[in-house]
């Protein structure tokens, strides 16, 4: 099962980050959300390594997360986290859950499928599909 980009919460946070650095959203920094996403990323990274994902999948996963989480975090690392940031993170997460429900998808199913895709080297996540398409254009 190919996982849609709008079904992965990290991409919602990345979209928020883009709006924030573009000064379209000015009230709330995504720093708190990025910290939570990085913690989740560390847990998922350990899981896919322990469960035998290929080196190429692990490298692609790391590249995607450097671009989507670590670079954004680094650029706003000096932002202070306040109540509005935490509230906006929770509000965004509620909208994300409602979006999944509207689409008839469960959050746990999304992340189970994402982990299976990573562990079994299926490449069904948006970031890895993008990397695979770029590599295909250069390798063929």
Q: What per-residue confidence (pLDDT) applies to 137?
A: 86
Q: Report pLDDT for 140.
A: 67
What is the chain's pLDDT, residue by residue, as a tens digit (140 residues)?
A: 789 999 999 999 999 999 999 999 999 999 999 999 999 999 999 999 999 999 999 999 999 999 999 999 999 999 999 999 999 999 999 999 999 999 999 999 999 999 999 999 898 999 999 998 998 888 86
**Which residue bears the tokens 């991409």?**
11
Q: What is the pLDDT of residue 1?
A: 73
Q: For tokens 């994902």, what's the residue?
A: 53
**Domains of the chain by residue range:** 5-139
Nearest-10 crossing angle of helices 83-102, 9-21: 130
Which residue, among 127, 123, 131, has the nearest Cα to 54 in the 3D structure?
A: 123
Q: Is pTM, for the whole model, over 0.95?
A: no
Q: Mind giving me the DSSP string for 47-116? A: HHHHTT--HHHHHHHHHHHIIIIIHHHHHTTTPPP-HHHHHHHHHHHHHHHHHHHHTT--HHHHHHHHHH
């Amino acid at each position: 099962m190919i996982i849609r980009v709008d079904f992965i919460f990290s991409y919602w946070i990345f979209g928020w980050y883009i709006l924030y650095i573009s000064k379209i959203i000015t009230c709330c920094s995504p720093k708190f959300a990025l910290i939570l996403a990085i913690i989740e990323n560390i847990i998922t990274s350990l899981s896919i390594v322990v469960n035998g994902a290929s080196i190429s999948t692990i490298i692609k996963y790391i590249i995607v997360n450097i671009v989507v989480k670590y670079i954004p975090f680094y650029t706003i690392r000096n932002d202070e986290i306040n109540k509005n940031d935490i509230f906006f993170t929770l509000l965004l997460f509620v909208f994300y859950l409602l979006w999944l429900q509207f689409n008839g998808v469960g959050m746990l199913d999304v992340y189970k499928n994402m982990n299976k895709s990573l562990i079994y080297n299926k490449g069904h996540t948006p970031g890895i599909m993008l990397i695979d398409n770029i590599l295909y254009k250069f390798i063929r």
